[in-house]
Structure formats: C-alpha cells, structure tokens
Amino acid sequence: MNGTVNTAVNVTLTVTTDAKGALKYTWSGNNVDANGNLDLSKITTPIVITITISTSLQLSFYSPPSQAVWIGFQSSGPPTGPYVGAEFTTAANVNSATSTLQWTDQNNDGKTYAYILVLWLVNAANPRGIQVKVDPRIINRGTSG
C-alpha cells in the first residue's frame, strides 16, 4: 500500500446518565451508526479510527490504551482481550489524552468484527473506579474492493 493515504473515521461517544444513574451512550461521526457500529465496507483504503469520549462524568479510556480496545471476529462472540494480528494496530491515546483513542484498520479482509471499548468510570458509587465495557461492531470491506 505504498503511497496510500489513510481515511480518517472520527467518532464521538457522548456519555450521559439517565434519571436512575445508568450510563447512556450516543454515537456520532462519519461511518458510525446509533449503536456505535462502524461500517467501513465502502472505504477502499486503510482507516485511522479515532474515538473521543465527550462527557461531564469522570470517564476515560482504560489505561494503558493498548488494553482499552478489544477486537475479535463477531462470529466468535464478544472479544475477551486486546486484538492480536495484522488487521489492526495497537490502540493509543492521541496527544496523551485519555479521552481519545486511535488505531488503524487495514480494512481489507471483508470480515465483521466485534469491538469492545474499555472505559474507566470514577463516581460516588465507585470512588476507586470501575471498568465499563461498550461493544459495537466493525464491518470491513472485501479484499477485491
């Protein structure tokens, strides 16, 4: 892929709470649906995915960032840990911001992946913090595209 320019997919995950204190998620950005699923099937280049948390809560991506996104084949069920392979790079914070996570998807295998974002929430009920997991999908384009 010499000389190929990566396509940027920028997503915002807005997190609020409902009247009972449960977390509510709203997704926005290019190539993302209301459930946070990324449909990359029409993009023909590798993709740099950037997800930013927008919230007034004490919420960030889990640290270290390499542990903050888990990716696995959707057909295998929810992923149980960080991705190992060549399709995705290891996730990293952008400019050391714990509210922004970025990784690259080679986007060339036509597979559908489940991904889990691992967040860290500190609140009155969890003053030391607690992991929160959010689990959308990634749909890659095929190799013939």
Evaluate if residue 145 carries a pLDDT over 60.
no
Q: Cα(79)–Cα(71) distance, rounded to whole angstroms?
A: 6
42-56: average pLDDT: 95
Evaluate if residue 1 carries a pLDDT over 70.
no
Evaluate if residue 11 carries a pLDDT over 90.
yes
**What is the residue-averaged pLDDT of the chain?**
91
The string over 112-132, giving b where at least 16 C-beta atoms fall within 10 Å of a residue's C-beta and e elsewhere, is ebbbbbbbbbeeeeeeeeeeb
64-118: pLDDT as tens digits: 999 999 999 989 988 999 999 999 999 999 999 999 999 999 999 989 999 999 9
Which residue is listed with tokens 């960030």?
60
Catalogue all structural domains in the chain, each as residue range(s) with its CATH number: 7-139 (2.60.40.420)
